[in-house]
Amino acid sequence: MRRPTLADVGAVAGVSAKTVSNVMLGRREVSEATRLAVLAAVAEVGYEVNLAGRGLVSGQTGRIAVVVPNVYQPYFAELAERLILALEPHGYTTMLRIANGGAAELDAVLGAAVSNVDGVIYCPHFRPDHDGSLQPRRPVVQLGGAPTPHWDCVVMGEFAGAEAMTRHLLESGRRRIALVWNSSPGDKPGGDRFEGHLAALRAHGVERDDALFVAGSDWDRRASGYEAMVGLLRSGASFDAALCVNDAIAVGALRALRRHGLRVPQDVAVTGFDNTDEGEFTVPSLSSVSPRQEEMVEHAVAMLLDRIAGDAVPPREVHTGADLVLRASSRLQPS
């Protein structure tokens, strides 16, 4: 059976084979309406990109490296899947890489990847694992984490999300809100989620209490949330809510509260951040902040395609918002 060609796609979309090629290469001179028509035609005729041929013509590989710190945390697994699916319509395959250490490890991963890819989408932990000294030879877009001036960044609405969730807890009558954090015990919390939490406390006239800032030993693991919550309970501090830095930490905190005989949300309200799928299935279901992953991925892919097409503007920042997804863990049901 004959394989569909660019000309076949163009005949269905009503454009030339050259225009189809421009769309598949991610070139900017194509209008959005034309791009969508071509992508629909690609799906209709079953056209598959010839990566070897495209590389010979354009000098490109047709591959993008997606770098995440891990895939055991639902947030990063979901983010990686969204990126893979978002890149496919543009004719790109994905190389998934793990960088869970510091700048040296990230440098090694980028160094190994750049000879085989056209660009990199880098998804860091809370803070980027670099000091600005990295000079990758391919375009890099950072998705999430604290912004950097060294490459394009998509910055999620961390401040707005934490401020809104803290406000929700305060407006539901909570006053002693524990912050279950992501650093090692003894480290001071910081960053936009922390500052958003403090801003909401100030706006409601609630005094900050550092005794309610607790942390486990790991950013991503549910066991760390369990560990932090057990430590808070053993401290004897009084609290009626727990604002957790992410959903994985919140899942661990929920288990610790249940094991110690406390009811959620009657005794303690619990919230997360990231709105991962597992939050719908905890008992009770978990209130969380959605960082608008779909919007973040859309911006990251668009900026990377611009860079691959030769866009030479200075590094850009795109800021996305955040939405509350309120479920049973923070909402008292009427008696």
- Say which residues have a Cβ less than 8 Å from residue 228's Cβ, sequence separation at least 6: 180, 181, 214, 215, 216, 249, 252, 253
Highest mean pLDDT (candidates 43-57, 94-108, 185-199): 185-199
pLDDT reported for residue 50: 59
DSSP notation for 89-133: GGT-EEEEEE--S-HHHHHHHHHHHTTT-SEEEE--SSS-S--S-
Residue 72 has pLDDT above 50, yes or no: yes
Stretch among 216-230, 293-307, 319-333 having the lowest mean pLDDT: 216-230
State the pLDDT at residue 335.
38
Of 18 and 211, the one with more pLDDT: 211
Q: What is the per-residue pLDDT across 53-70, written as a single tens digit (0 to 9) for each? A: 555 445 577 889 999 988
pLDDT at 317: 94
Give the mean model confidence (pLDDT) for residues 37-61: 70
pLDDT at 127: 55
Measuring CA to CA, which residue among 55, 77, 267, 273 is closest to residue 162? 273
List the structure tokens of 282: 């905890």
pLDDT confidence of residue 220: 65
pLDDT of residue 305: 92
Q: Which of 101-110, 120-129, 230-239 has the highest mean pLDDT?
A: 230-239
pLDDT band at 5 (very low <50, low <70, confident <90, very high): confident
Please give the mean pLDDT across all residues of the chain.
Answer: 86
The pTM score is: 0.78
Average pLDDT over residues 194-199: 96
Tens of pLDDT, residues 151-183? 899 999 999 999 999 999 999 999 999 999 876
Position 334 scores a pLDDT of 46
Residue 265's pLDDT is 97
Mean pLDDT over residues 240-255, rounded? 96
Q: What is the pLDDT of residue 313?
A: 86
Q: In this model, does residue 333 exceed pLDDT 70?
A: no
What is the signed CA dihedral for 252, 258, 262, 264, rounded to 10 degrees? 70
pLDDT of residue 239: 98
Q: Would the pLDDT of 280 be above 80?
A: yes
Q: What is the 3-state secondary structure (H, E, C) of 218-274?
A: CCCCHHHHHHHHHHHHHHCCCCCEEEECCHHHHHHHHHHHHHCCCCCCCCCEEECCC
* Per-residue pLDDT at 112: 60
Tell me what the mean pLDDT of segment 248-259 comes to: 96
pLDDT score at 22: 78
Give the per-residue pLDDT at 125: 76
The mean per-residue pLDDT over the stretch 252-257 comes to 97
